[in-house]
Chains A and B, each alone.
Chain A
């Protein structure tokens, strides 16, 4: 486990159990080049030594020469000693050197968790943002027809992707299951270059239905699921009731029975609630769990989740969701998606959510 992963696990643990810890973070990455030679780094790091004698002290080596120490209880003298040692190192430093306060930062957990992880470099390990989208033509019926014709003969396995859904198990994140999907953007870029598949919502839904069937056929192929772990699939309700789903069901290894989650979208459910109710009962009887995915803060109050009665609900993180004091549905059956930033993890853990999907959760796993 890297230092950053260990620190993320500490933040998650404090948030979920309402446990108090203090953390002092040394931002050695902010030292000017003249003070960033190896012996300076050694001295800066040694400034933290007094804290290593505190109760439950732990040291974390972080990206870009950042270092953190966590401990329990009061340690005012040790913090003061660390500050003095650093001030000594900086004495006579050239103008423009950062203030000691911005080099040595004190955090209180659980409340400062997101700020700590940001300062510790969680964002610096995040992938670069996607390039600005090129102005693409909206998908039209003729293009979709051509895509469907190509899909009928194409090997879609190369577009298949997996991403973990993580579960907080008290002391660490572990993979609960893998989300398996076809990467629609790559597929569109290959089959219909320069075309935006999402621009026409009704045609996009139709495309997802076609892709559902290809994904189901892919997974039902002999040997495809041999040794596979628990997984989830995005499916339209109509696809759950299609023969391709029954073929996957027949091909499902015994060990995976009861380990597969089917993700359905509220828009698809509301387009035909009776079919959804039928499909839900049908697959539940065969050991699948149904997850209602993509529930946003804006959609949440509009849905009667008790009557829709999925097994799991996936809430999509956004700052507006962060304004809610409590999860309005069973938090143990809630997955928080787009948990890319530490504040999403922090919010969810503090409200009893244990399952996450996103960069920050993967980092903690």
Chain B
């Protein structure tokens, strides 16, 4: 195998390359819109000259960008960021995103609001500290390390749109992302108690990888959460993982399947049927195509940017103070948990409202 200056790889081999090309095409299909365009085959005795010409031309190419900076730096950076985050207002780092039930012909009904770390905000802070290529493992570590602060903030920080204050009418349930340890913590048990008193339903979202790392601990956490009246959601199921596992056996109340453009072609009908469409929420449904595919599969629960826009459109059409507001502004303000992100809205009650 010969690496070229521009990052291309040339494999020299004897015999037919068709099986290898077919394998590569299958692998590339995951991320590349046109996998065939990534491969070229030359037969040396026939068009070897063309290969030599191509390779020679690559010598003049600019070298590929340098790899990510030394990982050790990232570790120091991550620690510094964690300290920075621990000293800052959580509402500035968090977002809330609404999940909806979409019944054809019956419109949208909000199901719950998920409080999440804004990856954008955290990544921006990492970039400020020179850590733009932070290791995803470190991001997960950081989020786990900060979950205690999230729970605390929900209890005390009015900046989270005061979710625990007694509110009018039928309020949306609130979902948090927790590790198994966080879900079993005393701090969360206190929060769950407070939420019950305030008449607010809670849900806990556990990352699929955490559940698979210790299925027995997941089952214990699931049973304890259910007994406390908290919904249990399995988060982060990709189509690739669905193809090789049976997450239905984990027995969560809801499974969040991540939308991906390759999903419709992934041949997962049987796997989806096992999950039961009424227990599936199509996550990262950022486009109309995603929602349309979900509906065609019998999925009725959705979350993502396209849903945010649909909700914003509904609000704008009924808002008495919405003159001059754009769809994007309304959608972004609804995502914000702190007052800064919501500034400019003259009808915050509708922004927080439970009905559209």
Contacts and interface: CB of A to CB of B under 8 A. Distances in A.
Given A206-B137, A206-B138, A273-B241, A140 B246 contact: no
Nearest to A145: B75
Contact of B244 (A298, A301, A303): A303
A299 B140 contact: no
A270 B141 contact: no
A307 B238 CA distance: 15
A266 interface: yes
Interface stretch (B116-124, B158-166, B209-217, B277-285): B209-217
B56 interface: no
A148 B72 CA distance: 7
Interface residues of A, number: 33
Nearest to B81: A141
Interface string B132-144: 0001011011001
Contacts of B184: none
Interface stretch (A87-95, A173-181, A196-204, A352-360): A196-204
- What class of interface size applies to chain B in its complex with A? 35 or more
Nearest to B1: A246
A82 B137 CA distance: 66
Chain B interface main SS type? helix
A271 to B, nearest CB: 6
Interface string B78-101: 110010000000000000000000
A22 interface: no
B213 A201 contact: yes
A1 interface: no
A205 interface: yes
Given A203-B141, A206-B138, A277-B27, A267 B75 contact: no
A271 B240 CA distance: 10
Contacts of A206: 71, 135, 137-138, 141
14 contacts: A141-B82, A142-B76, A148-B75, A200-B144, A267-B213, A270-B241, A270-B244, A271-B209, A272-B240, A281-B23, A301-B249, A302-B249, A304-B246, A307-B244
Interface of B: 23, 27, 30-31, 71-72, 75-76, 78-79, 82, 135, 137-138, 140-141, 144-145, 208-209, 212-216, 219, 238, 240-241, 243-247, 249-250
Given A141-B76, A273-B244, A298-B215, 17 more contacts: A141-B138, A142-B75, A142-B79, A145-B72, A200-B144, A200-B145, A206-B71, A270-B212, A270-B245, A281-B23, A296-B215, A298-B216, A298-B219, A299-B212, A302-B215, A302-B249, A304-B244
Interface of A: 140-142, 144-145, 148-149, 200-203, 205-206, 266-267, 269-274, 277-278, 281, 296, 298-299, 301-304, 307-308
Closest 4 CB pairs of A and B: A145-B75, A202-B141, A141-B79, A298-B215
